[in-house]
Structure 1
Amino acid sequence: METTVEMTKNEQFRFFADMIPQLVWFTDPTGFHTYFNQRWIDFTGYTLADSVGPDMWNNLLHPDDRAHAREVWGRSLATGDFYEIEYRFKSSTDDYRWFLGQAQPQFDENGQIQQWYGTCTDIHEQKMTELALRKREQELEQAYADLEVKVTFRNLELEREVQELRKKLESNSKLA
């Protein structure tokens, strides 16, 4: 009877883990991956066997994100602190998408990490919007700076013209 109940719990968990929109993963205390949900497999194109080991991370993480990801994950493994990072993963179609990676350790009664539970949430559209807004902000700042320079030079020109007109007025008033 317990086996049937356990199977039902496992089936329920797998159904739930495969249903949610996140990529779900578990590791042992050392950071070695022990589980990935179906969404991970579908997104990456990697089988469960392909998804273990350091090569997987080097192949899937964007080259610009690898060093930072190793540093943040290493710090969390060493300290047991909550893991959170934004990075890009390569999909099965070779496109990179932005994800928010998060993981929480499970501790035993002695305070030792037993397992890490993690998710990767697709934030690509949000990140693209953020990058587009940042680019537009920089363009507007540059346009403002350019306009400020133009206004400054135009003011100098106008001041020069006013001075010339004053000189003409003064010379005309002396003649009259």
Structure 2
Amino acid sequence: MTEIFKNIIKVMKKIIIALMMIVGIVSGAQAQTELTVSYGAYTQMDAMDCHDGGPSVNNAWGALNAGLNFHVAPGFWLGPSYTFSSTSRKHYDENKFYYHAIMLNLRYNYYRNSIVTLYAKGALGSVIMHETWPDDSKNKAYCAFQINPLCAQVGLSRSVAMFGELGFGAQGLIQLGFKIGL
């Protein structure tokens, strides 16, 4: 690993710790917490050239997302998330691109009944692009965001729900996943 990549990792760790502390202070000791895991198709990294302008880059396979959300006020959830995606250059599989996005998410539940919850979500953070060749590598940072105005979750039990989200950003154009109450 290059020294730059090590420094980026150190900074990202500090950001995550700071976000967790902020969320912990805001949410209080008795707040509800949930873990989310999802897959998102067609990400910001593909649509907005988060590969340093390189020619002939394949579309990524999508994105794997994980997040931790805290109920901070009636209808509002706040928490950090991590997204991973990767791709390669067309006709040159040894040139790979790895994307790591860390964002702070805010969700607002605007409708709820006993089974279904409709909500909107927004997120802001950073994408670190790590590009590798057989004998070298480099890193570059981009602004990451996610805007999902149409989202729904269906409760499968008291603590498990599946969800679908439609929007645009680093987490994907369409996301499908599960939420587990902790």
With normalisation by structure 2, the TM-score equals: 0.29
Structure with greater helix percent? 1
With normalisation by structure 1, the TM-score equals: 0.29
Higher Rg of the two aligned structures: 1
Structure with greater strand percent? 2
